[in-house]
Copies of this chain bind each other. A is one copy, B any other.
Amino acid sequence: MRDEQKIIERIREVVPSSPRASDLLVGIGDDAAVLRPPSVPRRDWVLTCDSFLEDIHFLARVHSPEAVGYKSLARATSDLAAMGARPRYFLLALALPPHRTGKWLDGFLRGMAAAARSFGLVLAGGDTSRNATVAISITVLGSITPGRAVKRAGARPGDVLYVSGTLGRAQLGLELVLRGQGCNPRWKQLLATHLRPPLRLALGEWLARNRLTSAMIDTSDGFSTDLAHLCEASGVGARVWLDRLPKVSVPRELRARGLHPDQLALHGGEDYELLFTVPHRQAIRILASFGRVPLTSCGEITREKKILLVGAAGRTTPLPRGGWDHFRPR
C-alpha cells in the first residue's frame, strides 16, 4: 500500500504531466493548475468532466486496470471530440481502496498514460482520496478556434444525419465480457472497441473547423438515446433508415446467443462515434470516409418532433431511447 504522497509521485512518473507548451504555468503538485490562454491566436476553451465508477462504468473482476485507465480518460475526452475541440489538459480525481494502490494502480496509470499520449493530453492536477470502491472523475480542457464549437442544438429540418464508424461494437464487447468471454481469443477483435474505444478527435476538429455540421454529439449513451438528446436540444425530430445504419457485424454463433446487430447498433452505448447533422447543401462535402473512418448518412432531420425508424420493408415505427439512462427503472 502506498501513502498519498507516493501515489501522487507514481502518477507523475507514469502519466504525461510535463507541459509541451508554455501555457501551463503551474501543473500537478500545487493547490490548483494555472494556465495562460494565448492572446494570439485566440482560442475558446472547452471544459468537461465525467465520472467513471466501479460497478457502474466498469467491473473490477472483469476489466483490467489498463482498460479502466484508458476508458475513463477516453469517456471524458470524447465530449471534446463532440464539440470539435482539441484536447489539451486534464485533471484526475482518483479515489481508491488501499488494496488498489499497488499493482492495480500501476496498471491503471499505464492505461491512462497510453490514452493521454494517444489523445495529446497532459495531466495538470487532481486529487486523491481513499474510498471503498474505485471512483474516478476526470476533467478535460480543450481548445478551439473562437466560435467554432459545435453544439447539440442547431440541427434544422432537412439536415442530413451522419454517423462515424460502426455502431454496436462496444456493446458487443461488453456483452461478451459479461458472458465470461472476455479472455476467449476467438473474440479478441470484437473486444477492442469496448476496451480501448478509438476517439474521433481529428474528425470532430475537421467538421468544426470547416463549419460543416449544424449539431453534433458523441454516441456514449447509445445511438437512440444520443439522437434523442441532439433532437431535443435542437427542437426537431428525425427519421432514421435502419438498413443504412453502419451496424456491427456479429458472428453467426453469437447471433444465435441473442446478440443482434440491430439492437446493438441502435441502443448499445460507449462506441464514442460522432453523430452529426449537415445542412443539405453542404452534404456534398462529406465523403464516404474521413481517413479510414467511414461516414454514413443514415437519416434526416424533421420538423415533427418525433424520432422515427424506417425499417427494411419501409415500415415506420417510433425509435425509443433504448440506450443508457442511469436512473431509468429497468
Q: Which residues of A contact B (CB under 8 A)?
A: 1-7, 25-26, 29-37, 39, 42-51, 53, 55-57, 79-80, 82-83, 85, 89, 91, 93, 95, 98, 101, 124-133, 135, 137, 139-142, 144, 146-147, 149, 151-153, 216-218, 233, 325-329
Taking CB as reference atom, which chain B residue is nearest A38? B37
Are A327's CB and B34's CB within 8 A? no
A3 with B47, Cβ < 8 A, contacts A32-B85, A55-B132 known: no
Q: What chain B residues lie within 8 Å of A44 (beta carbons)? A: 25, 34-36
A326 with B49, Cβ < 8 A, contacts A25-B149, A83-B30, A233-B30 known: no
Contact of A328 among B3, B49, B325, B329 (CB under 8 A): B3
Are B34's CB and A46's CB within 8 A? yes
In the assembled complex, the Cα of A153 lies from the Cα of B28 at a distance in Å of: 12
A131 with B83, Cβ < 8 A, contacts A3-B327, A44-B25, A49-B139 known: no
Are B45's CB and A42's CB within 8 A? no
CB distance from A111 to the nearest CB of B (A): 20
> Number of copies of this chain in the oligomer?
2
In the assembled complex, the Cα of A55 lies from the Cα of B144 at a distance in Å of: 40
CB distance from A248 to the nearest CB of B (A): 23
CB distance from A154 to the nearest CB of B (A): 10
Are B141's CB and A47's CB within 8 A? yes
Q: What chain B residues lie within 8 Å of A37 (beta carbons)? A: 37, 43, 45
A53 with B139, Cβ < 8 A, contacts A30-B151, A39-B42, A125-B48 known: no
Are A95's CB and B51's CB within 8 A? yes
CB distance from A55 to the nearest CB of B (A): 7
Are A233's CB and B129's CB within 8 A? no
Q: What chain B residues lie within 8 Å of A45 (beta carbons)? A: 34-37, 45
Q: What chain B residues lie within 8 Å of A128 (beta carbons)? A: 326-327
Q: What chain B residues lie within 8 Å of A30 (beta carbons)? A: 83, 151-153, 233
